[in-house]
Chain A
């Protein structure tokens, strides 16, 4: 993303504090929070805002992320706007309830800081924590930088409340969570206007006497998933609309996918999160050296924008997926997803799956440049390739 134009709303914030600002502006009613490195600065900043009377959500500090998510679901079901944040072990501890939240169609925003899960213990940027939750029915965004994290938090509340589906936004540990950049803070009026309160069709404690989540028969359960499918299919459009409106208000676009210099590209990198920064730089250098490279950034990962991905990659001779995650037994998750999406199209790219940056190892611009040189004319292998 281009450096924001200088103005008085520009603040130097790290990624996590940018998230906290987004949350403060979105004004959730309830926020259950549990600390974990490297998410903790989000929690700390929100508690700091609250202690200065700048943020008046009901803050809950339960004994675990599991209970944080349980409280979040119950609060959302009772009509509250809800935010929570976690990382790695905490997200994985929530797993049972992630399914519950989407099944109960409870809107909420969860911010996850992508971190390696143990064992062995590590605190490093790696996206397998959230990618392994891809089947839980959550909308998933991956953010590249602090500004995008703030903007996505605000847009996510609108998307979540329109789709009645929970949203998980992810940014990489340290590379984004702790790196300080100039961030433009939108005004409270802009955010209030962007995020009106929509009355719920049903909430616990209304006078309908209806219950939520009671057991039902096979056909009924099946229908809940068909309903969810319809809702999921509307998310890409909601994301584009929210991003379009946000761009009108702030000048910052936010689409499900971002294409950078992909016109006439002979090789396109496909990746998510902080990796996009170095990949963009590599694209510029490759183009300077006469290699027509491009970058396809996947911002919305669930639901996967399948048609848009096909359109972006059809006819491109070669695509190199940079996966900062490793799914044992298959390879990179984004690589798998792209293989599925591109299967059967007429002119698919040669698709290379790179395990780049697993465990948080740095992937310098030069490494990405070299991948283009080495693989752009090579036949793809079925096995993933570990990038040194």
Chain B
């Protein structure tokens, strides 16, 4: 990775829920323009780590830096303005708001001119034409796949330098997963850094350059995605 600057760096982070320790001593890093995946079984602590990065959960010692800035001094709502945006697990679209309202809220952190926002909206609707058909529908009435498209589109409206995608394929049919991963690849191709959290790791490993494996709250393996695909343990646990 020489010559490429580190965008996100997480070092020795713990996350606790009361007495329960969900993440212990986790470290990872993502470079500018890089695609990285964090894989692990259900309950391994992936979401907890992502939420600690986004300041939705307090974390213990250690540091979380984005472009060198310590995020631990900031509130969750200050991060999108810096270019760090999470697309949360389970999509979490605003069900009573329309598709367009959801997308516009994605740009809440920006002080962009109207034309610029309209251009970006058009780009998102171009990426997910299904959303254009449903633009004035309440987001709660969309199918799971459409809600995932909306959640990603909403994240893109913030013009992020980096997207954290928490299980974007969760609960979706294989055909829809292909559509979603096609869009994710297109986003990566535009130079947005990605940290993709997945349980079903095959597509994520295919797209990512590097991968981290999390087990029971600790990161147990890391390395180039291509070598992890061939790793016996990873194959057994996550690729079936």
Q: Do the two chains bind?
A: no
Binding site for B on A (CB under 8 A): none
